[in-house]
């Protein structure tokens, strides 16, 4: 946060459990005060702050970025609460991303549904945006692909794509970014000095007939490095039953980092901390206090003015 003094964290997330059925699959905010993201306070009584009225009328996997003087939030256009038809969703689902904009994190314009997937894609899921030196952005997302004219009755694996944009209103044609031949989703990056750490939910196992999804970490020189090398496979495997949706961010002091992993269909987000992230040494933080049902999202460092503005606008609840 160059030129800004860190005061806390803002999490954008969603829920999809029975306890929040009326407001499921919409964007919710929570804040953590101070350096450690271990005690989270729901904003607005943990009601949705951003709700999609376009596309499939659901917003999952929100990813929040600071773009100059504005904030941009992108999300998956998907709703499954009413009919959990994942076969339809991965073969004939949403192929655009939801986009909201704000200058103060309180008042938002949108959502707009912006096409991003390539022809033949069955879905475009979990978009994440990272800046380029020229001021443009690379947006990474997962898609399954189906041959032209296919009836799409045969499932295909998820692979990662990347598309470039300058304004989040139009995207250059997407290209395959990562395709190991099996499901890989939710790519996220952490800049560490001269290296880039890549995190992804990867279905690779030692047994090709058994797909168990965990988050893996690799290291490269830049995001487009064709030769990332393994750092650690199956992060948290001794604690988690499975994992996806990594949200990784640097500690505001020191060289450490924090990592949320979504233990989907079980406990949801679980927090890990590392004092040596380049070596993939992650420790579970079991006492983390989170809003109920919180899932796959993103975390943004905010300053005191931004924290105060959010609390004044939405109200803050006690952690837990």
Tell me what pLDDT residue 287 has: 93
Measure the CA–CA gap between 166 and 171, rounded to whole angstroms: 8
- Report pLDDT for 273: 98
> CA nearest 259: which of 311, 188, 203?
188
Alpha-carbon gap, residue 189 to 271, rounded angstroms? 17
- Cα separation values, 86 from 31, 37, 90, Å: 31, 32, 6
- Assess contact for 159 and 131: CB atoms under 8 A: no
Instruction: Supply the CATH classification number for the domain 6-314.
Output: 2.115.10.20
Determine the Cα–Cα distance for residues 168 and 137; give it in Å rounded to an integer. 8
Strand, helix or coil at 91?
A: helix
| ω into 315 cis (within 30 of 0) | no
Distance in angstroms between the alpha carbons of the first and the last residue of the chain: 28
Alpha helices in the chain (DSSP H): 86-92, 304-314
Which residues, 6+ apart, have CB-to-CB distance to 103 below 8 Å?
A: 69, 70, 71
Task: State the Cα–Cα distance between residues 236 and 26, nearest whole angstrom.
Answer: 28
DSSP 213-233: -EEEEEEESSTT-S--EEEES
Distance CA 318, CA 299 (A): 19
What is the tens place of the pLDDT at every residue in 263-298? Answer: 999 999 999 999 999 999 999 999 999 999 999 999
Distance CA 189, CA 211 (A): 23
Taking the C-alpha atoms of residue 209 and residue 288, their distance in angstroms, rounded to an integer, is 35
Structure confidence at residue 317 (pLDDT): 84
For the chain, what is the mean pLDDT? 94
Per-residue model confidence (pLDDT) at position 1: 46
CB 261 within 8 A of CB 244: yes
Domain boundaries, the chain: 6-314
Mean pLDDT of successive 10-residue segments in the chain (320 residues)?
A: 84 90 92 98 97 96 97 96 82 95 98 97 97 98 92 91 98 97 96 95 68 90 96 94 96 93 95 97 97 96 98 89
């Amino acid at each position: 946060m160059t030129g800004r003094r860190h005061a806390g964290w803002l999490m954008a997330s969603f829920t999809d459990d029975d306890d929040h059925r009326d407001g499921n699959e919409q964007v919710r905010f929570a804040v953590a005060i101070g350096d450690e993201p271990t005690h989270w306070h729901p904003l607005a009584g943990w009601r949705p702050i951003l709700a999609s009225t376009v596309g499939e009328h659901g917003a999952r996997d929100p990813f929040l970025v600071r773009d100059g003087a504005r904030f941009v939030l992108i999300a998956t256009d998907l709703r499954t609460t009413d009919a959990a038809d994942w076969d339809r969703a991965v073969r004939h689902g949403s192929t655009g991303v939801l986009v909201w904009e704000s200058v103060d994190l309180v008042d938002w314009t949108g959502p707009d549904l912006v096409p991003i997937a390539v022809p033949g894609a069955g879905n475009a899921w979990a978009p994440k945006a990272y800046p380029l030196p020229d001021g443009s952005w690379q947006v990474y997302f997962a898609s399954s692909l189906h041959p032209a004219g296919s009836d799409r009755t045969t499932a295909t694996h998820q692979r990662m794509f990347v598309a470039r944009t300058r304004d989040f209103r139009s995207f250059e044609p997407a290209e395959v970014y990562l395709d190991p031949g099996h499901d890989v989703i939710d790519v996220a990056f952490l800049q560490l000095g001269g290296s880039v750490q890549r995190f992804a939910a990867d279905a690779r196992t030692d047994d090709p007939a058994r797909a168990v999804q965990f988050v893996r970490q690799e290291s490269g020189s830049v995001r487009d490095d064709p030769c990332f090398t393994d750092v650690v496979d199956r992060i948290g495997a001794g604690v988690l039953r499975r994992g996806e949706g990594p949200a990784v961010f640097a500690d505001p002091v020191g060289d450490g980092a924090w990592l949320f992993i979504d233990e989907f269909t079980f406990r949801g987000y679980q927090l890990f901390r590392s004092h040596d992230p380049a070596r993939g040494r992650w420790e579970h933080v079991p006492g983390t206090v989170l809003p109920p049902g919180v899932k796959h999202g993103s975390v943004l460092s905010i300053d005191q003015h931004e924290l105060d503005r959010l609390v004044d606008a939405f109200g803050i609840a006690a952690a837990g």
